[in-house]
Amino acid sequence: MPFYFDPSFIILIPALIISFAAQSQISSTFNKYSKVIGLNGYTGADVARMLLNSNGLSDIPVEIIPGKLTDHYDPKNRVMRLSEEVYYGTSVASIGVAAHETGHAFQHKAHYAPLEIRNTIVPAVNISSNASWVLFFLGIVFGIPAFAKIGVALFAAVVLFNLITLPVEFDASSRALKLLENKGILYHNEIKGARAVLNAAAMTYVAAALMAISQLIRLIIISRNRD
């Protein structure tokens, strides 16, 4: 059986390298600063609760969720979920991540436009992310250009979602760092550590956006070559 190499795959290589580097960076940075204990002795749960209460969000519960770096704010149910390591952790890394998630809660309260847009398109993107590949490959395999083009259009929605995510994540980190410093939760050198963790986390979203864009370009090239 002859080996076939798709030249369009080359388009993905830079994004794959960046994605691998970003994942390695967040893992190593989080591990590094998970060993640096905050001088105030607050846990991630303490910080989340403190910041939520001080911003009129005392009704939002802070819960534990399984896994590593699975922390997130659920805008639909208005719940803060922290991984066990972050929830109980007193490290600069845990505190930084917890504060970042509260930043999303503050965005939600303030009706921050990019977050509102992202939340609105989530259901459509969930459908598009799967349907796009099915329609695209059906179009290619069975020679139906219209299907392939619809698949490309649906995947463009996934790219849009990834792009909108960038300002949402950067803004949440900015809010978190300001709160940690202004409220004296972390001190100067600790703030540097928290910033390093959040910057590393932000790079994973940049990498995801680059990968999505690269995939879209590749799909467009493949579909045009089959026309």
Half-sphere exposure at residue 218, Cβ-oriented, CA atoms within 13 angstroms: 19
Single out the residue of 109, 56, 120 nearest to residue 78, CA to CA.
Answer: 109
- Overall residue count recorded for the chain in this entry: 227
pLDDT score, position 1:
39
Between CA 31 and CA 42 the distance in angstroms is 18
Contacts for 227 with CB less than 8 Å, ≥ 6 apart: 145
CB 74 within 8 A of CB 122: no
Half-sphere exposure at residue 28, Cβ-oriented, CA atoms within 13 angstroms: 6
The H or E element that residue 81 is part of is: strand 79-83
The token pair at 68 is 């590593």
Between CA 226 and CA 184 the distance in angstroms is 60
pLDDT score, position 2:
46
CB 102 within 8 A of CB 173: no
Q: Rounded to 5 degrees, what are φ and ψ at 146? A: -60, -40
In order along the chain (227 residues), what is the average pLDDT of each group of 10 residues? 65 96 97 97 98 97 96 97 98 98 98 97 93 94 93 97 98 97 95 98 98 96 81
CB 167 within 8 A of CB 224: no
Between CA 25 and CA 197 the distance in angstroms is 9
Single-letter amino acid, residue 143: G
CB 219 within 8 A of CB 155: yes
pLDDT score, position 213:
98
pLDDT score, position 5:
57
Per-domain boundaries in the chain: 7-225
CB 99 within 8 A of CB 179: yes
Half-sphere exposure at residue 32, Cβ-oriented, CA atoms within 13 angstroms: 15
pLDDT score, position 8:
82
Q: Which residues are catalytic?
A: 101
Single-letter amino acid, residue 1: M
CB 91 within 8 A of CB 186: no
Cβ atoms within 10 Å, residue 6: 11
Helix (H, G, I), strand (E, B) or coil at 63: strand
Between CA 90 and CA 106 the distance in angstroms is 22
pLDDT score, position 9:
86
